[in-house]
Amino acid sequence: MQLVGIAAMVRLQRQLLLAFVLTHDKQSGVDRCFIATLETLIELVMACKRKQPSNKDMGGLNGQRLKGFCRFCGVRAELAMFAEGESQRDIDEHLRLSNLYCSAHRPKTPDGSWNPAYRQAMRSVTQFDLELARLSRQCAIRTEPLAKSGDELVDTYIFRYMLGQTLHLADEAELRNLARLMVDMKLTDRKKQILALQKLGFNQSEIARRLEIERQAVSKALRSIPDCFRISIA
């Protein structure tokens, strides 16, 4: 870590984890143990990263301020980006770095007006937290539905969709960005139900009868769902 830095160390561990999942993982006891070990190492590195630096190490910035992900997505907050040397600023610029939001989601734009992206994210923050919690629970155990949404079809959709992904609990940024995308693209629980039934072999008329809605509503919902949310595996 002293030689390559924390960010490079995390990337290395994630690359090892991804390579193993794609090429060797058979979900045996040994495989699950190996995956858990790599995830633990990533968490250890992140714990080291959370140790508070002195103010002088951050160019005079207050090292006690929270440095993590944006409240609404998987991008690092402005202060975290600056502290890690990933964001360059003009020293003459009058700037307040946010410790809660990325540059895209900060409340005010540089001209002082309200940021529309912030307002939209604020309106959907409850749904974002809900989707993130479901995805995280499902990533913890990949062998059975575990989203705990309260609806069997929604749980089935999340279970089958995540089987087609290579995400694990350690991939926090990717999980947060996926939850953000689900909310922004309006992938509602109703649409998840429709996709789950479609994957189970139901046609549009059967889906409509099962969900007690109009067939036209099913057709309209399916047309509005981006391809990236289709279930790719059986």
Contact 89, 110 (CB under 8 A): no
- Segments making up each domain of the chain, as ranges: 1-51, 54-113, 125-224
Each residue's pLDDT, cut to its tens digit, for the chain (234 residues) gives 776 777 778 788 888 888 888 888 888 888 888 888 888 888 787 777 666 555 444 444 444 444 489 999 999 988 888 776 655 554 444 456 788 899 999 998 888 899 999 999 999 999 999 999 999 999 888 889 999 999 999 999 999 999 988 888 889 999 999 999 999 999 999 999 999 999 999 999 999 999 999 999 999 999 999 999 999 765
Q: Would the pTM of this model clear 0.85, i.e. be above it?
A: no
- Spell 202-231 as b/e; 16+ CB within 10 A means b: bebeebbeebeeeeeebeebeeebeeebeb
